[in-house]
Amino acid sequence: MKFFIDTADVEEIRKLAKTGMVDGVTTNPTLIAKSGRKIMDVIAEICDVVPGPISAEVTATETEGMLKEGRKLAAIAKNVAVKLPLTVDGLTACKTLRDAGTMVNVTLCFSAAQALLAAKAGATFISPFVGRLDDIGQDGMELISDICQIYSQYPELETEVLVASVRHPVHVVQAAKMGAHVATLPPAILRQMYNHPLTDKGLAAFLADWAKTGQSIL
């Protein structure tokens, strides 16, 4: 499974990229707004830090506007994936951009039927929002299971399942067991994945035993 980081904080991305765990980055207008910077500058800088797919979202709602913005975003760097909403206009723009060789991340997916349409439009990634479904009393991970099952029936569909709106490490593990290709994580969630109390306890015991020997490796 690939890990994308869901943030527009370039310094945070730099820190996490050094761990070797970051395969890509997802951004959106909300995250860009929090950065207080211009979207083109932020995306360009992130593309320099992480060589994998960097999702940059359009703000237009009609096909022609999406195409104009998408082409401008795609011109920033070869690893930009234009992020489009799962609407009729969005999927129409997706088909055109994909035919031109641009990566596309179709976002705001909340049903398996929508995911099937996105795959037929040639989306590089489909982003189902599991946390937002959980918030309204639905099982977000059931959607991931359905999409993975449907896609597996049709090898000609090359769209990768990118699990979004991840709220905790359990979402990541469940998605990996289902065969999802990517999880996009807030930085805090990625850091949580390292933690286990028995790891801390074991390390403390090892260090205490080593101290008793009075030795030094260096």
Instruction: Choose the catalytic residue: 15, 18, 34, 83.
Output: 83
Query: What crossing angle do the helices spanning 88-99 and 112-120 adopt, rounded to 10°?
Result: 30
Name the region of 165 (left: φ>0; alpha: ψ -120 to 50; beta: rest).
left
Residue count of the chain, please give it: 218
Q: Tokens 């028995």 correspond to what residue?
A: 198
The token duo for 137 is 């009393």
201 in catalytic set: no
Residues in CB range of 135: below 8 A, 6 or more apart:
none
Q: Give catalytic residue positions.
A: 83
